[in-house]
Structure 1
Amino acid sequence: MKYISTRGKVAPIGFIDMFLMGLGEDGGLIVPETIPTVGAEQLKAWSGLSFQELMLQVFSLYTNGEIPEEDLRKLVEDSYAGFTSPDVLPLTRIHDGLSVMELFHGPTFAFKDVALQFMGNLYAYVAKKRNEVINILGATSGDTGASAISSVRGKEGIQICILHPNGKVSRVQELQMTTVQDENVLNLSVNGNFDDCQQIIKELFADVPFKTKYHLRAINSINFVRILAQSVYYFYAYLQLPETARASGVNVSVPTGNFGNIFSGYLAKKMGVPIRQLVLATNENNILERFIREGVYKPEGFRSTHSPSMDIQIASNFERYLYYFCGENAAEVSARMERFKAEGQLTFDAEEVARIQRDLTAHSVGNEECLATIRKYDEQYGYLLDPHSACGVAAYERAGDKSEGAFVSLATAHPAKFDEAIRLIGIEQKFPERISELFDKPQRQVIVDNSKEEIAERLVDFYRVSQ
């Protein structure tokens, strides 16, 4: 298994080199040369596996033996030892038509822990094996940063800097990042929105001399390992269903802002998971819904919502989907992305829109619908959703044909992380102890302007001091 760029100008590389590269040096995203397929018999044989065992099986298809099996097994076991559910990702039946897969039982109570706990351990493993310096740089709309910091704080040979939009994450998300006092952690609070943070990250990674000099590594979903780790829970969701329910396949509703979570489902489907519908749930920042419904990929005005982790206009992983949509034609992808850069939008014709809609359906959830869904499921089913998970459930309710296949909606965060929204509808919740204790801790962060130059200077100072 070799890895290449969506833009075709990165020579095929191995698994660990792909992991370390993160963003392709040609500005594209890294993808496997071929996607391995898992047949029906193999899927059936995996039906009794734990999540950790399933993770090991899926990753073994991609690692080329570069990580010995016993080392990979230990990485997986260590990564999920801190999850509070014995199932790691429990599947909870809400009613006859819907189950929810809870992805928030990790250290920071968000689905990002599923991939990032593993990635943090993998970075530490690679740093030790190769005697390399690892400087992780990422942007977050809230959850990625907290989870990434949790995964590497205090680890030898690793520094991490996370950019987050100042004042545009929840209070708990902010505290989870900024109360960490380890010297290998730097939080930069950017006067801008997530798209601004993400653009600066992409520009810094595209500056190959800077990236190479300071050993920059990616933790965002631009890193294919993050996508691969998330794809495993689509296998797990399907295999956790009763055998009779699996007979007709599975439908999955996916809250997403950066296209990474749902692209992971798209990858799982291409690998062989019988997913009938992939329903993309977004909020009022609905560029992805307009792309799927109308064939127009164009950022519009940024809106702050009750689901801030999805307050994103430019979706990093869109290019990976575009690559497969274009028949793995890197030249075509490059041309379209250049057009997007020049014109600020991409348009797709009627035939292309029909093809897109065979892959994906979408629903944009407004603030009021989000809150109404939280209230409804609390009152009718005694199940409290966070605002992002509520968008997923609202999209499930708006989905088309529900007669074929079971429906699973992904619950991406614990509601305690977004208490500001929950309180708007008069619901008081008890915080987990690990969240309650955050409010008494001192914070450490640096507020910066939306400036690549200023942020680069901060990074140079941080890496010099840390090293």
Structure 2
Amino acid sequence: MQYVSTRANGATASQSPQQFSDILLGGLAPDGGLYLPTEYPQVTGAELDAWRKLPYADLAFEILKKFATDIPEADLKALAHKTYTADVYRNARAGESAADITPLRVLEEGNGKKLVLQALSNGPTLAFKDMAMQLLGNLFEYALAKKDAQLNIFGATSGDTGSAAEYAMRGKKGIKVFMLSPHKKMSAFQTAQMFSLQDPNIFNIAVEGVFDDCQDMVKAVSNDLPFKAKQKIGTVNSINWARVVAQVVYYFRGYLAATTSNDEKVSFTVPSGNFGNICAGHIARMMGLPIDKLVVATNENDVLDEFFRTGVYRTRKSAETYHTSSPSMDISKASNFERFIFDLVGRDSERTRALFTKVDTHGGFDLSGYPGGDGDEFHKVKEYGFKSGKSTHEDRLATIRDVADDYGIVIDTHTADGIKVAKENLEPGVTMIVLETALAAKFNETILEALGHDAERPAGFENIEALPQRFVVMPADVDKMKDYIASNTGL
């Protein structure tokens, strides 16, 4: 299995294709694009049948080995089994089995329609990001040990990526983590979960701005190739290909657990701001998983919903980005979206480069087919099964109340966005699976507003906000950020 950049052309062809291990520790390709396999591996019906009863770790191995063909299978299997254990994913709700890793819960069934919630938040930071990040930490440590090398991870978070990365990388030999987050724009729980870490290899940086300012700095540093090489910069954001691959696994798991034969189809509704989570679903579908629809659920920052309704991709400036009660989706530039557009335009790298250059210079592009637009590919979106919807704060509150009343569980704000949009897209004969984003405890302020009482917390998280916090506050200044990184890497 080899990989190419979404922006590869004649001038950069010498940099492609590459193998999995070559791109594991990085983020953006040297030409500014994102890596994708030269072709998606295909899964047969016989394989799906054989995988139905596999434990999660074995299923992860079967899928990962299709992408990481340059890693010895025995090593890859050991890494999967080290990662996906009941001890790591121990925060299951009452009635769920930690050994299932991503247990399903049927919320409602009737009139041929079925709504299912797939739990993805049983890991150490109570968010779906743990599903990939725990594997990434083990993969990074494995690869660095092979080379006796050092890696300085530079990433950005709107809430959950940061803590998942830090918990996965804390204490890992040869790894330091520099994590940006928007100052005072995460929930109190999310903030404490990151900033309370005292490990010497963890550096938390609160940026005076919004998430997109943080993400822009990560991209700027990644595009400074001499600095990136000297400071040994890597990334764990969803632009990292290995993280996307790890997320592909739970789509297969959800499908196999919700069906009894390969003749059945399911749809997935995915709360999404950065397009990384649902991009993994797109890849699973391209591999042959019988997915009917992939439904993007956004909050008030509805850049993705606007595109899938109209064909217009229009990013917002920082001042136009809303600070909402589902803050992990307060994103107006979907960094993984380029991977889907690459497929949508027929894997034309020159076209992809031109479109995303226009994003940088003019704030977006228009594929609706109307005169004056940038193309007419929007009609092809249906071929890939995408639909979308939007949820607001009032929708969120109502959904949290309804789910608590009707199903007896308390969901987080992002999952509420997903359930609200999923109900609008239920179809007879097709099971709808909503991917859980996080446990409700991470967004207690809104749970208290919706239900009048606090969300239940797993053991060990009772007083996390009271712990001492260690972080620095910095402006959204790339040069100052580079100086801070360089002064702390020891290189």
Q: Tell me the TM-score normalized by structure 2.
A: 0.92
CA displacement 1:299-319 (0-9 Å, x = unmatched): 231101110000000000010
CA displacement 1:211-251 (0-9 Å, x = unmatched): 0000001100101111110011000000001416x633101
2:238 corresponds to which residue?
221
Distance between the aligned counterparts of 2:82 and 2:473, measured in 1?
Answer: 34
Alignment of 1:347-362 (within 5 A): 347-350=366-369, 351-359=376-384, 360-362=386-388
Distance between the aligned counterparts of 1:137 and 1:205, measured in 2?
Answer: 9
1:260 to 276, 290, 293: 276
**Aligned-partner SS, 1:156:** coil
State the Cα distance separating 1:62 from its structure 2 match. Answer: 1.1
Distance between the aligned counterparts of 2:455 and 2:358, measured in 1?
Answer: 48
State the Cα distance separating 1:403 from its structure 2 match. Answer: 1.2
**Aligned-partner SS, 1:436:** coil
1:150 corresponds to which residue?
167
Distance between the aligned counterparts of 1:195 and 1:311, measured in 2?
Answer: 9
2:26 corresponds to which residue?
21
1:42 corresponds to which residue?
47
RMSD: 1.2
1:378 corresponds to which residue?
404
Relative to structure 2, which stretch is displaced further, 270-279 or 421-430? 421-430
Distance between the aligned counterparts of 2:204 and 2:145, measured in 1?
Answer: 25
Distance between the aligned counterparts of 1:144 and 1:374, measured in 2?
Answer: 23
State the Cα distance separating 1:260 from its structure 2 match. Answer: 0.4
2:226 to 187, 195, 209: 209
Match for 2:132: what amino acid?
A: A
1:332 corresponds to which residue?
351
1:3 corresponds to which residue?
3
2:457 to 431, 435, 458: 431
Detail structure 1 runs of 4+ shifted over 3 Å in the superposition.
none
1:323 corresponds to which residue?
342
Match for 2:361: what amino acid?
A: A
Alignment of 1:28-427 (within 5 A): 28-64=33-69, 66-81=70-85, 82-84=88-90, 85-96=98-109, 97-243=114-260, 247-300=263-316, 301-350=320-369, 351-359=376-384, 360-399=386-425, 402-425=427-450, 426-427=452-453
Relative to structure 2, which stretch is displaced further, 88-97 or 139-148? 88-97
State the Cα distance separating 1:428 from its structure 2 match. Answer: 2.5
Distance between the aligned counterparts of 1:261 and 1:276, measured in 2?
Answer: 17
Distance between the aligned counterparts of 2:258 and 2:422, measured in 1?
Answer: 17
Distance 1:3 1:242, change over 3 A: closer
**Aligned-partner SS, 1:258:** coil
CA displacement 1:398-452 (0-9 Å, x = unmatched): 11x5113211101110000000110112133221122214233210000001111
CA contact (8 A) 1:205 1:216 kept: yes
**Identical pairs, percent:** 37
Distance between the aligned counterparts of 2:347 and 2:429, measured in 1?
Answer: 30
CA contact (8 A) 1:24 1:30 kept: yes
CA displacement 1:120-148 (0-9 Å, x = unmatched): 11111111111111111100001000000
Aligned residues: 462
Distance between the aligned counterparts of 1:427 and 1:390, measured in 2?
Answer: 17
**Aligned-partner SS, 2:410:** coil
State the Cα distance separating 1:347 from its structure 2 match. Answer: 0.4
State the Cα distance separating 1:336 from its structure 2 match. Answer: 1.2
Distance between the aligned counterparts of 1:310 and 1:215, measured in 2?
Answer: 29
2:475 to 430, 433, 449: 449
Match for 1:355: what amino acid?
A: K
Distance between the aligned counterparts of 2:282 and 2:468, measured in 1?
Answer: 41
Distance between the aligned counterparts of 2:419 and 2:35, measured in 1?
Answer: 31
Distance between the aligned counterparts of 1:377 and 1:20, measured in 2?
Answer: 40
CA contact (8 A) 1:238 1:250 kept: yes
Match for 1:334: what amino acid?
A: R
CA contact (8 A) 2:300 2:324 kept: yes
CA contact (8 A) 1:172 1:435 kept: no
Distance between the aligned counterparts of 2:387 and 2:294, measured in 1?
Answer: 6
CA contact (8 A) 2:56 2:84 kept: no
Distance between the aligned counterparts of 2:409 and 2:402, measured in 1?
Answer: 9
CA contact (8 A) 1:92 1:100 kept: yes
Distance between the aligned counterparts of 2:461 and 2:272, measured in 1?
Answer: 24
State the Cα distance separating 1:95 from its structure 2 match. Answer: 1.4
CA contact (8 A) 1:293 1:353 kept: no
CA displacement 1:279-334 (0-9 Å, x = unmatched): 00010000000001011111231101110000000000010011000111101111
CA contact (8 A) 1:306 1:367 kept: yes
Match for 2:432: what amino acid?
A: F
Distance between the aligned counterparts of 1:345 and 1:334, measured in 2?
Answer: 13
Distance between the aligned counterparts of 1:408 and 1:434, measured in 2?
Answer: 30
**Aligned-partner SS, 2:67:** coil
CA contact (8 A) 2:180 2:207 kept: yes
Match for 2:428: what amino acid?
A: S
- Runs of at least 5 residues in structure 2 that lack an aligned partner in the other structure: 91-97, 370-375
Q: Tell me the TM-score normalized by structure 1.
A: 0.97
